[in-house]
Amino acid sequence: MKELLRIENLHASIGGKEILKGVNLVINEGEVHAIMGPNGAGKSTLSAVLTGNPAYEVTEGKVWLRGEDLLAMEPEVRARAGVFLSFQYPVEIPGVSMTNFMRTAINEKRAYEGKEPLSAKEFLALMREKKKLLELPDKLNNRSVNEGFSGGEKKKNEIFQMAMLNPCLAILDETDSGLDIDALRIVAEGVNRLKTPQNASIVITHYQRLLDYIVPDFVHVLADGQIVKTGDKNLALELEEKGYEGL
Amino acid sequence: MKVSKGDIFERVFVNEEVNLQIDQESGSHVKIHVINASFSITVNQLGEGCHTEIYALEHLRGEENVTAETHVTHAVGGGSSNQLIKFVLDDNSRGRFIGDLKIAQDAQQTEAHQTNRNLLLSEEAEMRTQPQLEIYADDVKATHGASTGQLDESALFYMQQRGIGKEKARQLLVNAFMKDVIETIGDQYADVREQLLNTIDGVVE
């Protein structure tokens, strides 16, 4: 099995307050890792640090993506190299249409890979194909990014962008929060259909519910900035039953 | 100058300083766009049911220094006015907006809106905004708003997370900020409008 991501002794802080206190994690191609834990454990900080959010400071540790120093890359380079974050709170960008946004993103990634940009026709065909996967309406193209989208539409839109960009490592940060059961099913099916033997995902969630749909190979418990327990999918069930205090 | 009863006066000024004093007769319509130039526009609505629109987009770089000045007076009722003034300030540029809006005591049932939005792209750029509203009539609908801010950091990061380079992401956000002013240019000036939209928006949608 080929190693995709390696996190070693990762420490990170925001505003001088240490949140991650030595995280270690190895993710191989084809694997789904769930990260669970109580509020404030550092789950969202981990996703922010892996994607290069400038609000956070890495104070110690290393992260490699396919053997390359991930932390040395600019956020956009990490994205082009295949790290994708499904945001817990997707950002509204008034005045920038989904089409313009997505086309710019795709072509920036293609340029990074040394490929020609997609023509307007090829691009629109790709949009149509991927939108079906998430049961998103056609009118989405002309709307501003996430502006006026419902909570469910925003989360579907995240997975739609994931389908468009075809990342090697997808981080789903609380993708289930605010979703009703139908939207959850559509989002989870979308994620499952994007799974290949070459890519991997990190599913960050507070509840076991999402893991009924996206079945993880490993479940990690993050508490007070460290991974304190690792198991298989049964660990999630155990947590649901006993709570984090029961560990 | 005078805009006669029921007439329409519509102009778009690009890179051209503007100094206008306009008296509007009843039912007339004034619509002015100024792009990238200092201006001083005075409009007096002297007849009933006039409509006035003033739009400006000032994208300043280097040492540029631009003053936008509007003086709109509703002397008679039943009229409306709408102003949208936007500045994008980069480098060491200086911008200033002076906006006087006056609704006289007799100008009942007037609807007047004045909005000034400014985007600072550098620490050195400076914007001064002086809106002044004098409302003497009681049955009116008037709004005004002025804000000066920077690019939304969370939107920038969101775009970078999708692989869009920081400079391009900034450009997309600045273009988005400027676009609505240009989109208010009417069909009579469609060629100017499309040309301006093309220059701010490299990507064809």
Residues of chain A with Cβ-Cβ distance to B171 below 8 Å are: none
Distance from CA of A108 to the nearest CA of B (A): 6
CATH superfamily of A3-246: P-loop containing nucleotide triphosphate hydrolases (3.40.50.300)
Residues of chain B with Cβ-Cβ distance to A123 below 8 Å are: none
pLDDT tens digits for A147-165? 999 888 999 999 999 999 9
Residue of B152, B163, B175 lying closest to A105 (CB–CB): B163
CB B76 within 8 A of CB B28: no
Q: Do B203 and A103 touch (CB under 8 A)?
A: yes
HEC states along A110-138?
A: HHHCCCCCCCHHHHHHHHHHHHHHCCCCH
Q: Do B163 and A79 touch (CB under 8 A)?
A: yes
ipTM above 0.90, yes or no: yes
- Could you tell me how many CB contacts below 8 A there are between chain A and chain B? 83
Res B72: pLDDT: 98
- Closest chain B residue by Cα to residue A90: B158
Res B201: pLDDT: 61
Query: How far apart are alpha carbons A158 and A187 in whole angstroms?
Result: 9
Residues of chain A with Cβ-Cβ distance to B160 below 8 Å are: 52, 74-76, 79
Q: Do B158 and A53 touch (CB under 8 A)?
A: no
pLDDT tens digits for A22-65? 999 999 999 999 999 988 899 999 999 999 999 999 999 999 99
Strands A169-173 and A226-231: unpaired
Domains of chain B, by residue range, sit at: 2-150, 152-205
Q: How many helices (H) and strands (E) does chain B have?
A: 3, 12
pLDDT tens digits for A52-104? 999 999 999 999 999 999 999 999 999 999 999 999 999 999 999 999 999 99
CA quadruple B143, B148, B30, B179: dihedral sign: negative
Place of tokens 């501003």: A144
Q: If DSSP codes are grouped into helix, strand and coil, which group holds residue A240?
A: helix
Distance from CA of B108 to the nearest CA of A (A): 35
Q: What is the mean pLDDT of chain A?
A: 93
* B contact test, residue of A53, A101, A162 with most B CBs within 10 A: A101
Q: Do B165 and A91 touch (CB under 8 A)?
A: no
Token representation of residue A111: 């340029």
Res B205: pLDDT: 36
